[in-house]
Amino acid sequence: MKANYKKYILDFKRPSGTSRGVLRHKETWFLILKAEGKLGIGECGLFRGLSVDDVADYEDRLQWTCEHIQLGKAKLWEKLKAYPSIQFGVEQAFLSLQASDPFQIFPSDFTLKVAPITINGLIWMGDEAFMLEQVREKLANGFNCIKMKIGAIDFETELSILKSIRQKYGSDTVELRVDANGAFEAEAALSKLEQLANYDLHSIEQPIKQGQIDKMARLCETSPLPIALDEELIGIADVTEKEKLLQTIRPRFIILKPSLLGGFKGCAEWIMLAKKHQIGWWVTSALESNIGLNAIAQYTFSLGNLMPQGLGTGALYSNNFDCPLTVEHGKLYYQNHKKWKSNLIEELCT
């Protein structure tokens, strides 16, 4: 077996705002395996500024992985615990290599019978007019679950947007989620959550910055709005530490991003613990290309979670890879009559 890797820069069609700044480009890496005339591909979805493995020796570790590919998926996964995005790429690449179709790594009704995954419509930060335009577009396209990023513009304006949605659509028609990406100051967070709770929100993701364990625990205990942990999970690789975090904070939900949490195996550990402690969960992509998104979507369908999932970001990029994934009426489909470019993996090898 031989392995190599390739860097790829994804370009946003339109700069996309978060509380951590405006995104114009997204760096990602592909791990490509060759064995007995077959090819496999996995995406190492590094997220600069967020991934715990955003470190100086990242490319060196990718090279090390290629040089030690004979160790196999399980041993490599254990040795790469400090590099969760590479763990994810390794899992995908081996599954891809072993599959009859390198892009169908979890064959199911999703890939074989065009059974859909319900997803949320994502509203990016911007001025009020831009955000309301996105809301109208998502509702017109059949989404009944909308996730709005908040925390970068004036809070009163964000409340006004939520109010305008609720004046037209009740919670029985449209489920609203918000994601603060840790933007609130801990001392002011409860007051803001109390105001947000007036708009019948499903939940808020990561209201304060990760690492403030005691403050987040108190917030989860007193908040009138269900809290979902997102960034809080990043960088915790040990199962015992994962359980300790959940037992201490006791969130209502956790958000699983395979690229940031050690791939499918890392997410499986979180799911096992969430079920044990009666905590809800759903899966979210983390701005991967369509190659990584495809793998995450197939994995997500296999889990049987019927809640709206956080998938379907492939259309954000101008230079993404054409693929069978399509979004229609608030659902993600794998249109198996559509094909991946026949020599896509070979092209990425060069």
The structure tokens listed for 64 are 């090390």
Q: Which of 149, 192, 209, 242 is catalytic?
A: 149
Distance CA 115, CA 99 (A): 20
The tokens for 14 are 């339109």
Residues 6+ apart with CB under 8 A from 275: none
Phi, psi of 3 (to 5 degrees): -140, 145
List of residues 6+ apart from 239 with CB closer than 8 A: 269, 273
The angle, 0 to 180 degrees and rounded to 10, between the axes of the packed helices 58-67 and 84-98 is: 30
Tokens of 187: 């001392």
Let me know if 149 is a catalytic residue.
Answer: yes
Is 257 a residue of the active site?
yes
Maximum C-alpha span of the chain: 61
* Strands of 38-44's sheet in order across: 2-18, 21-35, 38-44
Helix (H) or strand (E) holding 243: helix 239-249
Instruction: Calculate the dihedral angle through the C-alpha atoms of 73, 259, 281, 166, rounding to the nearest 10 degrees.
Output: -160
Which three-class secondary structure state does DSSP give residue 318?
Answer: coil
DSSP state string for 79-148: HTTT-HHHHHHHHHHHHHHHSSSTT-SS-SHHHHS---EEBPEEE-B--HHHHHHHHHHHHHTT-SEEEE
- Strand intervals (E) in the chain: 2-18, 21-35, 38-44, 117-118, 121-123, 145-149, 175-179, 203-205, 227-229, 253-256, 280-283, 325-328, 331-334
Q: What is the rounded distance in angstroms from the CA atom of residue 103 to the CA atom of residue 99?
A: 8
How many residues comprise the chain? 350
Active-site residue, selected from the candidate residues 138, 192, 242, 257:
257
Edge-to-edge order in the sheet of strand 325-328: 117-118, 331-334, 325-328
Query: Annotated catalytic sites, by residue?
Result: 149, 257
